[in-house]
Amino acid sequence: MKKVFVGLFSSIAGLCMVLQWIIGILVHCYATYIAYTFSGIMSVIITFIFPGFSALFWAYDIGSNTGIIFNWITVGIILWVFLWIPIIISVAFASALDDKN
């Protein structure tokens, strides 16, 4: 029965990691689009090189300029961050239940 739960928790962690990967790519592409729309090609290059910092910068820039805090990029960043919770919990449960000695 423990093997079933280890497989279940490992599958949950794997699914959340795939979702996190997809959301990260979408947020990075959207941040690159925003950089091109608002600032030009040099901002696109910097955004492409530093994806995490640039996504946070463009989320702050859009939020401060428009007054809309929960836009698509901030929602994506929040989802990406909160997907760490089921990943950490699932990996902790799977490793606690695993009997490899």
pLDDT of residue 16: 96
Position 50 pLDDT exceeds 70: yes
What pLDDT, in 10s, does the model give residues 28-45? Answer: 999 999 999 999 999 999
CA distance 90 to 80: 16
- 16, 83 in Cβ contact below 8 A? yes
Q: Which of 91, 33, 42 is nearest to 62 (CA)?
A: 33
What pLDDT, in 10s, does the model give residues 6-27? Answer: 889 999 999 999 999 999 999 9
| Confidence tier at 95 by pLDDT (50, 70, 90) | confident
Q: Give CA angle at 58 (54, 62), nearest 5°.
A: 175
pLDDT of residue 98: 78
Position 101 pLDDT exceeds 90: no
Token duo for residue 52: 């995490």
CA distance 1 to 99: 12
